[in-house]
Chain A
């Protein structure tokens, strides 16, 4: 069987534009299967564009000045009393403080239950032949190392553009996505934050439609005209 490891360019790609206007602070593309990180200043808005459609962007967020304070899926879900992220969801830290807020969202719901893929968990999910497939945990470790972060700093993350429903009996898992080329999510930083994104390399489940594609990251400053 031939596996598509990634598509870097295609005529259906839609790189869209920032969801919240303002002076562009940063505009970068995360290649398929690659990691990325940057500090986003308080008040700035990060727009993530799903260029090829249904491409999971695994995301961790840290307080830029104190990496011990970081995104907590559990604080976030408990605070909003809902398992899914939508527009208005506040992404909370492990200390119960807002890190970022979803100020724009073009897919029905965003996932933060499914966690990141890893070479190790691939062996459980798909068999031991997948041990050598590249994975988000690898990207998190390499990208995090640039900021002094290691395995002890990896926590349950957000998966932008990924779809993880929970059924009544507790069955949960990754199913076909609800996104499309050019769909966006926009996050306003509530303090200076370090954002780490893995452009998910997974090719054993539908989180990337079995075809990793690029993500575009644009950071804008809404306080300054474009």
Chain B
């Protein structure tokens, strides 16, 4: 399959002048996977969102990765454009990189293994890094299986390097982490959006697949946050070939969760998690 990457030989590049003209002539090419700058110019700005408030707009290829450090109160929408995306997400506090997503606490503290609207993504320090504030994928997510590995993808698809068409999620997260100044040890277990897994009474992990094209989730950053995203096939995806599709990312300035939000007081555990977060930020002069 030939993919239009907006690349390849177009004109003579024998002289510096020709090469410069050729290089400059490549701009203004639109392809599927690319960022939109300024973010307000995104052709896919979410409905009901003032494009002027966008701080990040991008389509991530499948497979591909992206990452950003965002302010508290940033609302991040991830959209599974074709129904084939799987967004593997890791979060770190931008205030202290040792504070990061703790999947066990994210499942245990709400007494709920399945991610959905209102679910807090907790750090290992008793605080909320981000909240899933909207979910049109109706719970087609997974916090059990994580990402694929180089060894696993090499065995299953023949290759798993980041540059391969069958890239392993972990290889992509390693790159995203490195770009944010993080190291391999900074990659804890991740959560996966848009591909669902459920636990049978026997403990068997059962694939429930995608919600379909256009499904989205919204995360709100509850503190200054670094987000790493690998868009790569899910480890349990039963498709014979490597399944991946474009992932759209839009983020805009909104508000962190407040006591008036239903998830703040959904359970006593969550209330205390938000209170811990609030105090942590208050002490730093962050409101």
Which A positions have Cβ atoms within 8 angstroms of B?
67-68, 72-75, 77-79, 81-84, 94-97, 109, 113-116, 118, 120-125, 127-128, 137, 150-157, 164, 166, 168-174
Contacts and interface: CB of A to CB of B under 8 A. Distances in A.
B202 interface: yes
B146 A75 contact: yes
Interface of B: 97-100, 102-105, 107-109, 111-114, 122, 124-127, 144-152, 170, 183-190, 198-199, 201-205, 235-236, 269-270, 272-273, 276
Given A124-B126, A166-B113, A172-B107, A155 B269 contact: no
B114 A170 contact: yes
A124 B149 contact: no
A137 to B, nearest CB: 7
A173 B111 contact: yes
Instruction: Output the residue of A75, A79, A173 with the most chain B CB within 10 A.
Output: A75
A81 B109 contact: no
Nearest to A86: B203
21 contacts: A74-B147, A75-B152, A77-B205, A78-B236, A81-B204, A82-B202, A84-B203, A94-B170, A94-B187, A109-B203, A115-B102, A115-B108, A118-B126, A120-B276, A121-B122, A121-B124, A124-B109, A124-B273, A137-B124, A152-B97, A154-B124
Nearest to A93: B149
Pick the 8 closest A-B CB pairs, nearest first. A115-B104, A74-B146, A120-B126, A96-B149, A170-B114, A96-B151, A151-B98, A84-B203
Given A81-B204, A81-B236, A152 B144 contact: no
Contact of A83 (B108, B112, B199): B199
Given A121-B109, A156-B189, A171-B112, 16 more contacts: A74-B144, A74-B146, A83-B204, A94-B170, A95-B150, A96-B149, A120-B124, A121-B122, A127-B272, A150-B98, A152-B186, A155-B188, A156-B103, A156-B104, A170-B113, A174-B108
